[in-house]
C-alpha cells in the first residue's frame, strides 16, 4: 500500500471512530468552529465533516511525502509511449498498427553477446521466485536462502512445468510445482525426485551465468555458450551506500537493440531532437511549440571507443547547458560521462557543482528480437534531498521518450546515407559489431502475433 493510501485509510479510520462513538467528541462545535455552526454542522454532520477533513489531510500529507521522499518509479507499458492515436483508435491499436506497417530493414543479429539486466536487487527477496522474459526465453529468477540470486531456464525438463509459476525455494534449489523435482541454482543439476529411487545423472535444467552488482541482477548470454568475457565494473559509491536508490523508469522499445546505444554516436540528433525545453514534453508533434522556446538545452558531445583491455567499453562525454531567454545559467551546467559496458549496460555519471553527484544505470535487455526493455535506475548522494535526483530522472525520462517515438516508428538502415559530420555513427557500428558472432541468432521472418 502506498504512503498516500495508508494515510487516507488512517484518516478515514479516525473519522469513522468519531462518527460511531456517542457524544460530541469535538466539544462545543459552535464555540470552537463558528463557521461550522453557521453552516448548521452540529453533532453527526460535524463528525462526518471532521472525518472527511482528516482523511483529506492525511491523504495530502501522504501524497506530499511520496513526492518529496519516496523513490520515483515511472513504468511504461509497450503501447504507452511513441505512438500517435488517430481516428478514435486506442493506444494499443495504434501501437499494433505501427508494428504491422513498419518496414524492418536488413537487421544485424538480434541478440548480441554480453551481460544483461534481469531485475533490480530489491525486487527479489530471499526465498522469492520471479518469471522473466529475456532474449526470447522464459527464465526463473530466485534468491536462495544463502542470499544469492540464481537464474535458470523456466521449464522443467521432466514435463515442462514453469518453475517460476508456483515453484518454491528450498535452500539454494528451486522445486518444480508439478512433481517436486528440485534443481540447484548454481549448476541446474537435479538433486531430488521425491518418488524416484535414483536421480538420473543427466537430469538438469540450464543455469545461466549470473552476477549481482550495483544493486542489479545480471545474466550473461553468448550464442555459442562461451563463459563471460568481461566483468561488469562495480560502482563503489553504490556498494558503500554513499549513493542510494532514488527511483527508476521502465520502457519497452519496438526496435532492434543496436538502435538504442547508437544514439550515443549520433551527435547531430541532440541539437535537433533534444534542444527544445523539457517543458514541451515528449510528443514530437508539439516539442517545437513557441510557447516553451524561451527555455532551451545546449549540448556538446564527444563519443569514442576504449582500447584494450576494455575494447568492450565506449564513452560519451556530454556537456549540458541551459539557456533561458537566451541567457546561459552556469549554475545549472551538468557534466555527464556515459560509459557503455558491452551491448546492454551504460553508466551515466553525473557531476554538478550545485546539485551533487550520482549515476543512472541505463540498461537495455532484449525481450524478443524487436522488443527491448529499457530501464533507467538512479543512485544519488544520500545527503542530497531526494527531490533533486527525482527531478533529474524525470527530465531524463522526457528526453528519452522523444527518442522512443523515433525508434518505435523507424526502419533500420543497414547502409545509411551519411555525411562527414556523421562519421561517429559508422565508428560506433564497427565497435558494436564485436558483440556478434558467426552463430548469433538472426530474425529470419516476422510474425505479428504479439498484440498489446
Residues 114-132 pLDDT 10s: 999 999 999 999 999 999 9
Residue 309, preceding bond cis, omega within 30 degrees? yes
pLDDT category at 294 given cuts 50, 70, 90 is confident
Per-residue confidence (pLDDT) for residue 183, from 0 to 100: 98
**Does pLDDT of 372 surpass 50?**
yes
DSSP result, 205-248: --B--EEEETTEEEEEE-TT----SS-PPP-HHHHTTSEEEEEE
C-alpha–C-alpha distance, residues 223 and 108, integer Å: 14
**Does pLDDT of 338 surpass 90?**
yes
Which segments of 83-153 does DSSP mark as H helices, in order? 91-101
Q: Is 422 helix (H, G, I), strand (E, B) or coil?
A: helix
Neighbour tally for 320: CB within 10 Å? 18
pLDDT category at 30 given cuts 50, 70, 90 is very low
Determine the longest span between alpha carbons in the chain, in angstroms.
Answer: 86
Q: Residue 130 pairs with which residues in a beta bridge?
A: 141
CB 177 within 8 A of CB 167: yes
Quick one: which of 302, 337, 310, 260 has its CA closest to 424? 302
Domain ranges of the chain: 73-102+233-434, 114-221
Quick one: which of 219, 187, 190, 227 has its CA closest to 206? 187
Cell (9 digits) for 321: 547547458
β-pair type (243-253, 72-75): parallel
Q: Residue 341 pairs with which residues in a beta bridge?
A: 313, 345
- In the block, residue with C-alpha cell 549554475: 331
- In the block, residue with C-alpha cell 469535538: 26
pLDDT tens digits for range 78-122? 999 989 888 788 888 888 888 888 888 899 999 999 999 999 999
Question: Rounded to two decimals, what is the model's pTM?
Answer: 0.85
Query: Does residue 63 or residue 91 have the better pLDDT?
Result: 91
pLDDT tens digits for range 296-335? 888 899 999 999 999 999 999 999 888 888 888 887 788 8
CATH number for 114-221 (one of 2.102.10.10, 2.30.40.10, 2.40.50.100, 3.40.50.1370): it is 2.102.10.10
Least confident of 114-118, 215-219, 352-356, 369-373: 352-356
Quick one: which of 219, 237, 216, 241 has its CA closest to 228? 219
Q: Residue 39 pairs with which residues in a beta bridge?
A: none
Cell (9 digits) for 282: 515528449
Q: What is the mean pLDDT of residues 364-391?
A: 95
CATH number for 73-102+233-434 (one of 3.90.380.10, 3.40.50.300, 3.40.630.40, 3.10.105.10): it is 3.90.380.10
CB 120 within 8 A of CB 129: no
Per-residue confidence (pLDDT) for residue 123, from 0 to 100: 96
Interior angle at CA 270, CA 266 and CA 275, nearest 5: 175
The secondary structure of 257-322, three-state, reads: CCHHHHCCCCHHHHHHHCCECHHHCCCCCCCCCHHHCCEEEEEEEEEEECCCCCCCEEEEEEEEEE
C-alpha–C-alpha distance, residues 277 and 418, integer Å: 28
C-alpha–C-alpha distance, residues 208 and 289, integer Å: 49
Per-residue confidence (pLDDT) for residue 29, from 0 to 100: 44
For 394, phi then psi, to 5°, come to -65, -45
Residues 6+ apart with CB under 8 A from 249: 72, 73, 74, 75, 76, 375, 376, 393, 396, 397, 400
CB 432 within 8 A of CB 258: yes
**Does pLDDT of 383 surpass 80?**
yes
Quick one: which of 192, 191, 232 has its CA closest to 209? 232
Helix axes 3-20, 44-69, angle to 10 degrees: 170
Query: Does residue 2 or residue 386 have the better pLDDT?
Result: 386
C-alpha–C-alpha distance, residues 424 and 262, integer Å: 9
Amino acid at each position: 500500500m502506498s504512503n498516500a493510501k495508508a494515510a487516507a485509510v488512517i484518516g478515514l479510520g479516525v473519522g469513522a471512530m468519531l462518527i460511531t462513538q456517542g457524544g460530541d467528541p469535538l466539544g462545543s462545535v459552535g464555540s470552537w468552529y463558528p463557521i461550522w455552526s453557521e453552516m448548521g454542522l452540529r453533532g453527526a454532520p460535524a463528525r462526518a465533516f471532521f472525518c472527511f477533513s482528516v482523511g483529506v489531510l492525511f491523504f495530502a500529507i501522504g501524497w506530499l511525502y511520496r513526492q518529496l521522499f519516496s523513490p520515483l518509479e515511472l513504468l511504461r507499458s509497450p503501447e504507452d509511449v511513441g505512438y500517435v492515436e488517430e481516428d478514435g483508435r486506442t493506444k494499443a491499436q495504434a501501437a499494433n498498427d505501427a508494428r504491422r506497417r513498419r518496414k524492418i530493414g536488413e537487421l544485424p543479429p538480434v541478440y548480441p553477446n554480453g551481460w544483461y539486466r534481469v531485475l533490480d536487487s530489491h525486487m527479489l527477496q530471499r526465498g522469492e521466485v520471479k518469471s522473466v522474459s529475456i532474449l526470447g526465453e522464459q527464465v526463473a529468477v530466485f534468491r536462495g536462502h544463502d542470499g544469492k540470486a540464481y537464474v535458470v531456464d523456466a521449464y522443467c525438463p521432466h514435463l515442462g512445468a514453469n518453475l517460476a509459476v508456483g515453484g518454491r525455494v528450498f535452500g539454494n534449489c528451486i522445486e518444480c510445482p508439478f512433481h517436486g523435482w528440485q534443481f540447484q541454482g548454481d549448476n541446474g543439476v537435479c538433486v531430488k525426485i521425491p518418488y524416484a529411487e535414483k536421480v538420473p545423472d543427466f537430469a538438469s535444467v540450464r543455469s545461466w551465468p549470473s552476477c549481482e552488482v550495483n544493486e542489479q541482477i545480471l545474466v550473461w548470454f553468448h550464442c555459442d555458450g562461451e563463459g563471460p568475457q568481461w566483468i561488469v565494473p562495480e560502482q563503489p559509491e553504490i556498494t558503500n551506500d554513499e549513493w542510494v536508490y532514488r527511483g527508476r523508469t521502465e520502457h519497452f522499445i519496438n526496435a532492434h537493440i543496436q538502435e538504442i546505444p547508437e544514439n550515443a554516436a549520433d551527435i547531430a540528433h541532440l541539437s535537433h531532437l533534444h534542444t527544445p525545453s523539457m517543458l514541451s514534453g515528449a510528443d514530437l508533434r508539439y516539442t517545437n511549440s513557441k510557447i516553451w522556446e524561451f527555455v532551451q538545452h545546449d549540448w556538446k558531445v564527444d563519443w569514442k571507443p576504449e582500447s584494450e583491455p576494455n575494447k568492450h567499453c565506449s564513452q560519451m562525454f556530454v556537456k549540458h547547458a541551459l539557456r533561458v531567454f537566451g541567457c546561459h545559467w552556469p549554475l545549472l551546467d551538468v557534466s555527464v560521462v556515459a560509459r557503455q559496458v558491452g551491448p546492454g549496460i551504460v553508466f551515466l555519471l553525473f557531476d554538478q557543482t550545485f546539485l551533487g553527484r550520482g549515476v543512472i544505470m541505463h540498461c537495455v535487455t532484449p525481450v524478443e528480437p524487436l522488443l527491448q526493455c529499457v530501464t533507467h535506475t538512479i543512485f544519488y548522494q544520500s545527503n542530497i534531498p531526494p527531490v533533486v535526483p527525482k527531478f533529474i530522472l524525470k527530465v531524463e525520462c522526457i528526453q528519452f521518450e522523444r527518442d522512443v517515438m523515433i525508434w518505435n516508428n523507424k526502419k533500420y538502415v543497414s547502409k545509411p546515407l551519411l555525411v562527414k559530420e556523421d562519421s561517429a555513427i559508422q565508428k560506433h557500428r564497427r565497435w558494436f559489431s564485436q558483440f556478434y558472432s558467426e552463430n548469433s541468432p538472426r530474425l529470419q521472418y516476422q510474425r505479428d502475433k504479439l498484440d498489446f
